[in-house]
């Protein structure tokens, strides 16, 4: 007999395992139910409040002169780009949104490496309160990092992805360091005969590459997981509780968030956060408003100003010559370097939070893109967001 689950998704719930959850077609369901797959901790909002989507039928049927990769309408582009949830804000109001059949306005969705950017906003509040100094060495909070790649770098090196690290961010790796990393975070199944590692024990095995810290931008997710551990060392509290009290509740989030954790409860700060699209749009709008929500400061203005302007362009170009050619990277956020001042948080499998201050636009796009990277689609998405920003709505 066909179950309701199979009728809805085309596969059974039992088919979704640690070995399959990040692959199509299973990701269409699992990316909105990560806490059923990987142990997770709740990041509470003050109180949960259900939301209703705006009617955007007319806008979604609209064609754009550019930025649609040959697709006839905004809605057609969203389908082409494997979109699960989409929110468009203009001047602080939601003007359009779209949810695929397997998604919902009140359903959390994993945002992968957008988690890095959210983690950095928490660190901004810790610096403001004198609990963390980005210029301090990592060992000031984590002395056991001595002897690892992190033994002689600063927290700022980690924030800006300028750690000299002998590590390959190979998402499809099945037998090397990246596979060990995924197993340590409980994102991949254990392998018989391989030692069980925790996130921290894995991080402390990483070695320095053959150049100094502070060189070219070198994207490595373990850096951001280290930031989550540093948050816990600086505060003496669990990451999920710090995120809740310093960002999620003050933001006025409508829904609880969640984050995956390892066997010791260490949070996957690099990629394990799940949030609703609307709440992620609220983060973007808060940043567009220089860190304010309803007259209350959430993130220090000086941190946002530094994040938007202080990234090293040459370090970025040396590390990423084929994307954002005018860009920069600072404090776990991407700066486009374009005249409009647009900046973004980006996650694999097509997760985006895009902010264009010049047109007062915020775009959220959460996806179940089969290819974790897909450079062509990344460029298409960027063109799409710029076209949306140019709309006068």
pLDDT in tens, 55-104: 988 999 999 877 788 899 999 999 999 999 999 999 999 999 999 998 99
pLDDT digits (tens, 9 = 90+) for 299-331: 999 999 999 999 999 999 998 767 899 999 999
**Bridge-based pairing state of the strands 361-367 and 83-90:** antiparallel
Backbone angles phi, psi at 296, to 5 degrees: -110, 135
User: Distance (Å, rounded) from C-alpha 112 to C-alpha 346?
Assistant: 8
Residue 371 is encoded by which pair of tokens? 């290819």
Q: Residue 180, Cβ neighbours under 10 Å: how many?
A: 18
Q: Residue 325, Cβ neighbours under 10 Å: how many?
A: 13
Identify the pLDDT of residue 168.
83
Lookup result for tokens 């059923």: 36
Name the DSSP class of 173: -
Does 113 participate in catalysis according to the annotation? yes
Lookup result for tokens 């949070």: 267
Q: Write the CATH number of the domain with boundaries 38-123+236-390.
A: 3.40.710.10
pTM over 0.85: yes
238, 89 Cβ separation under 8 angstroms: no
Inter-CA distances, 65 with 69, 73, 76, 117, 383, Å: 10, 10, 14, 31, 11
Query: With respect to CATH, is domain 132-228 assigned 1.20.58.710?
Result: yes
178 vs 29, residue with greater confidence: 29
User: Distance (Å, rounded) from C-alpha 333 to C-alpha 322?
Assistant: 17
155, 384 Cβ separation under 8 angstroms: no
- Active-site annotation holder among 27, 32, 40, 113: 113
pLDDT digits (tens, 9 = 90+) for 161-211: 999 999 988 767 677 888 999 999 999 999 998 889 999 999 999 999 999
Residue 355 is encoded by which pair of tokens? 């902010």
What are the boundaries of each domain within the chain? 1-30, 38-123+236-390, 132-228
């Amino acid at each position: 007999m066909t179950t309701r689950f199979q009728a809805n998704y085309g596969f059974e719930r039992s088919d979704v395992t640690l070995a399959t959850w990040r692959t199509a077609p299973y990701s269409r369901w699992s990316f909105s139910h990560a806490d059923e797959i990987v142990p997770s901790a709740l990041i509470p909002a003050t109180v949960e409040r259900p939301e209703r989507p705006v009617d955007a039928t007319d806008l979604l049927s609209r064609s754009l002169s550019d930025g649609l990769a040959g697709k006839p309408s905004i809605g057609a582009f969203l389908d082409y780009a494997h979109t699960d949830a989409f929110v468009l804000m203009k001047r602080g109001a939601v003007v359009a949104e779209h949810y695929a059949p397997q998604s919902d306005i009140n359903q959390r969705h994993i945002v992968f490496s957008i988690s890095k950017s959210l983690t950095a906003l928490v660190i901004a509040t810790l610096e403001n309160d004198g609990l963390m100094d980005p210029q301090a060495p990592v060992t000031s909070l984590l002395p056991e990092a001595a002897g690892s790649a992190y033994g002689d770098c600063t927290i700022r090196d980690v924030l800006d992805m300028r750690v000299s690290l002998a590590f390959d961010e190979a998402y499809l790796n099945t037998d090397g360091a990246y596979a060990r990393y995924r197993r340590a975070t409980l994102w991949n199944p254990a392998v018989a005969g391989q030692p069980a590692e925790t996130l921290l024990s894995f991080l402390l095995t990483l070695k320095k590459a053959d150049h100094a810290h502070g060189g070219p931008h070198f994207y490595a997710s373990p850096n951001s997981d280290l930031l989550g551990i540093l948050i816990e060392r600086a505060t003496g509290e669990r990451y999920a509780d710090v995120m809740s009290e310093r960002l999620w509740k003050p933001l006025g989030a409508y829904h609880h968030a969640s984050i995956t954790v390892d066997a010791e409860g260490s949070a996957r700060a690099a990629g394990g956060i799940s949030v609703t699209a609307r709440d992620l749009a609220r983060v973007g709008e808060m940043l567009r408003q220089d860190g304010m929500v309803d007259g209350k400061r959430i993130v220090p203005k000086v941190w946002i100003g530094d994040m938007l302007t202080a990234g090293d362009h040459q370090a970025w170009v040396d590390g990423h010559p084929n994307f954002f050619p005018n860009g920069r990277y600072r404090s776990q956020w991407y700066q486009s370097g374009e005249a409009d001042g647009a900046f973004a948080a980006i996650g694999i499998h097509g997760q985006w939070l895009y902010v264009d201050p010049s047109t007062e636009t915020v775009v959220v796009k959460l996806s179940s893109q089969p290819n974790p990277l897909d450079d062509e689609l990344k460029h298409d998405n960027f063109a799409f967001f710029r076209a949306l920003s140019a709309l006068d709505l």
